Amino acid sequence: MFGRLGEHALKHDWIEYAAGLSMVFGALFVIALITYYKKWTWLWKEWITSVDHKKIGIMYIVFSFIMLAKGLIDAAMMRAQQAFAVGDSMGYLGAEHYQQIFTAHGVTMIFFVGMGVMFGIVNLVLPLQIGARDVAFPFLNNLSFWFFAFGGMYILVSLVIGEYAGTGWSAYPPLAGIKYNPGVGVDYWLWSIQLSGIGTMLSGINFISTILLMRCKGMNLMKMPIFVWAAFGMMILVVFAFPILTGTLAMLMTDRLMATNIFTDTLGGNPMMFVNLFWAWGHPEVYILILPAFGIFSEVVPVFSQKKLFGYASMVWAIAAILVLSFIVWLHHFFTMGAGPTVNAFFGIMTMIIAVPTGVKIFNWLFTMFRGRLVLTTPMYWFLGFIVTFTLGGATGVLMSIPAADFQIHNSLFLVAHFHTVIIGGVVFGFFAGFTYWFPKFMGFKLDEKLGKYAFWCWLVGFFVAFTPLYLLGFMGVTRRLNHYDVPGWQPLFVVAALGVILVLAGFGFQVLQIVQAIKTRDQNRDTTGDPWNGRTLEWSTSSPPPIYNFAVTPKVDSRDAFWSMKKSGLPKYSKEDYKPIHMPKNTSAGFFIGILSFLATFGLIWYMFWLAWLSIAGVIFFICKRVLEKDTDYYISVEEIEKIEAARNG
């Protein structure tokens, strides 16, 4: 009946109990709050079943913030362990718990924070920037979110029921195979990524269609904002890279469930194939994360420099170059696997070449500032912090792309420091810049600048305090994923790194405070104009927050920085006659049900409760059929209603 799910699945050490209980109580608290304020219907009708890209975007970001908090706690726990676990002291975490933490940290941060925030921002901003009313497939968008969210749920569920993988986030077989890891941990890992990956894939298709088919009149490809170009690049990468991951994980799954011996070390299996396939997805994945961050900075810098973006065409070509190159560099993740020098050198050189288009982008941003009028708001602070951090991260990356140098740094803390430098400095800072920049658009009020700058300084200084020691430790021969070491000389550096994490946590604290404070004082900080930053692109031409249909009349565009030139030549005035009934998609619960049933199906596979798996799969098929056959999926917003909403906006 319960497969291999027995009471032993609930047995943990006290730290795991504390983590699990705090999560359960947190969830109960939220449920109690919703019940107390009688918000269940509101939550269901306005959010869970919503197909509005703005609401889906907000849900992505809220979910990612929760996961970010979780990932940061993981990080703090690891650093606390390493600050003490030297010599005779084994620290407070057992090896088996520690390995789950670093695996969960990686998966959380890459898949459910990095991907989550970027899909959130793309969802929010992209349709508005191209003057569309929604994405091409609104229902699919909702479905994507639920796949993503239920995938992330596994990381939380594993805190209470069973365990998470103890293999590192990349889970190489044979360690991740049934031979060395027969437990449910790797299965949780597998399905959390697989489910969210399906969501990601659907989103990729959705946004490519949106960008190609839903642009407003006059916006040809070379007039799109760079953020849209960046998102376009990101989605192309998603569509080409994610099938590799899905296929690879499917093979690992059959290895584990049905002994197909594809990646095992005997019977003709080959674990090296997994490593190749994993990184054939894994390296494009890095650019899936960083491209939208580049896009965000390409929006932020011109607005706050009050100047056109420098080198638009260069920017587009740089994105294109990165796109192609990102698929032919994967081997640099394992120069040490024993490929011949010619193969290694080829992949090393290809990797270095990526530095060229990336450098071009950096110089273009810098020369956008040149002879501008810089307004040094929080997003600009994040940008300046990004330039410093990311350039260093890029340099260490080029260093590691030289195979012979990489032999001495690979898998060491130098590597860990390198990819945190590019991911925190690039993706995270980029997201924070975009978050502050677009917050007033979707919430209708601004975030506090002062708290934002405190947060920035804590993050920036904290980052360097936390990761500079790791570069040094790497040179000292310290590898990643150590829960204990016996060289006392390493400890001071680990202690410094732990202090850095405290600063980063303080930064995160300021951000939470910033959001709370902004909600409390929202009436003083309302953005009534819809254009609080003197923006340049179409999203600023509508109200904050935008009406459900985004634009009462779809805009017409004749240049880049469309809204900027509209403001110069006089904004178009619309009257009653211009309004036409707007065709909109209806909310649907199918996405949520398909999501939760897929979750149950895979839960059944993880615990060998095959009846549950089959039943849930039947349910998924039922809901797909139901949705496909549904006729009543759309409605019209009448002219009167548009008039009413628009009149309210114009006061």
Partner 1 sequence: MKKAFKIALSILLILGGVALSALYIINNKIPVLNPEGMIAIKERDLIVTASLLMLIVVIPVFIFTWYFAWRYREKGGGESKYTPDWEHNYIAEYCWWGVPFIIILVLSILTWKSTHALNPFKPIENGTKPIRIQAVALQWKWLFIYPEDGIATMNYVQFPEKTPINFEITADAPMNSFWIPALGGQIYAMPSMRSRLHLIANEVGEYRGRSANYSGKGFAGMTFKAVSSSETDFKTWVNQVRNSGKSLGMKQYEAIVKPSENDPVSYYRLTDSDLFEQILANYLIPKKEK
State which of positions 403-432 bind partner 1 (CB under 8 A): 403-412
Q: How far apart are CA 407 and CA 435, in angstroms?
A: 39
Among 137, 139, 232, 310, binds partner 1 (CB under 8 A): 310
* CB proximity list for 289: less than 8 A, separation 6 or greater: 110, 114, 115, 118, 423, 426, 427
Q: Alpha-carbon distance 65 to 71, whole Å? A: 10
Note whether 254 binds partner 1 by CB under 8 A: no
Q: Which is nearer to partner 1, 320 or 353 (CB)?
A: 353
Task: Give the CA distances from residue 612 to residues 10, 345, 597, 617, 623, in Å, rounded to whole numbers and listed in that order.
Answer: 20, 50, 10, 8, 16
Contacts (CB under 8 A) with partner 1, residues 361-380:
362-364, 366-367, 369-376, 380
Out of 73, 76, 398, 615, the only residue in the binding site for partner 1 (CB under 8 A) is 398
End-to-end CA distance of the chain: 62
**92, 260, 272, 362 from 268: Cα distances, Å:** 41, 10, 12, 47
The answer to whether 587 and 51 are in contact (CB under 8 A) is yes
Contacts of partner 1 in 550-609 (CB under 8 A): none
Residues 81-100, mask of contacts with partner 1 (x by CB under 8 A): --------------xx--x-
At 592, which amino acid appears?
F
199: Cα separation from own chain's centroid: 13
Residue type at position 470:
L
Helix (H, G, I), strand (E, B) or coil at 340: coil
> Least distance from C-beta 75 to partner 1, angstroms?
17
For residue 524, the Cα-to-chain-centroid distance in whole angstroms is 32
Quick one: DSSP state of residue 558? -
With CB under 8 A as the contact rule, the residue among 241, 309, 416, 642 that binds partner 1 is: 309
Q: Are strands 582-585 and 634-637 parallel, antiparallel or unpaired?
A: antiparallel
Asked if residue 49 binds partner 1 (CB under 8 A), the reply is: no
CA distance 466 to 396: 16
Give the Å distances, CA to CA, from 380 to 168, 375, 443, 527.
Answer: 35, 8, 20, 20
Binding segment (CB under 8 A) for partner 1, from list 3-11, 392-400, 446-454, 587-595? 392-400
- The nearer residue to partner 1, 159 or 387, going by C-beta atoms, is 387
CB of 264 to partner 1, least distance (A): 9
C-beta closer to partner 1: residue 35 or 408? 408
d(CA 531, CA 533): 6
Q: Is 476 in the site for partner 1 (CB under 8 A)?
A: yes
- 38, 88, 258, 489: which one binds partner 1 (CB under 8 A): 489
Give the shortest CB-374-to-partner 1 separation in angstroms: 5
Binding mask 173-202 for partner 1 (x = CB under 8 A): -xx----x----------------------
**For partner 1, which residue of 485, 624, 639, 646 counts as binding (CB under 8 A)?**
485
The verdict on 360 binding partner 1 (CB under 8 A) reads: yes
Closer CB to partner 1, 252 or 409, in the complex: 409
Q: How many CB atoms lie within 10 A of CB 526?
A: 15
On whether the CB atoms of residues 492 and 504 are closer than 8 A, the answer is no
CB atoms within 10 A of CB 392: 19
Q: Which of residues 259-278 bind partner 1 (CB under 8 A)?
A: 265-267, 271-272
Residues 118-177 binding partner 1 (CB under 8 A) are 166-168, 172, 174-175
Is there binding between residue 391 and partner 1 (CB under 8 A)?
A: yes
Q: Residues 218, 477, 572, 581: which binds partner 1 (CB under 8 A)?
A: 477
Which residues from 455-474 bind partner 1, rule CB under 8 A?
A: 468, 472, 474
Whichever of 43 and 395 has its CB closer to partner 1, that residue is 395
Distance of CA 426 to CAs 112, 209, 325, Å? 16, 27, 19
> Hey, how many other C-beta atoms are within 10 angstroms of the C-beta on 327?
17
CB of 361 to partner 1, least distance (A): 9
Q: ω into residue 547 within 30 of 0, thus cis?
A: no
**Looking at beta carbons only, is 266 or 524 nearer to partner 1?**
266
> How far apart are the C-alpha atoms of 504 and 562, rounded to whole Å?
38
Nearer to partner 1, 206 or 401 (CB): 401
If binding is defined by CB under 8 A, does position 488 make contact with partner 1? no
- Span interacting with partner 1, options 306-314, 446-454, 498-506, 607-615, rule CB under 8 A: 306-314
Looking at residues 334 to 353 of the shown chain, list those that interact with partner 1 (rule: CB under 8 A). 334, 336-338, 340-342, 344-345, 348-349, 352-353
53 forms part of the interface with partner 1 (CB under 8 A) = no
Our CB check for partner 1 shows the closer of 35 and 336 to be 336
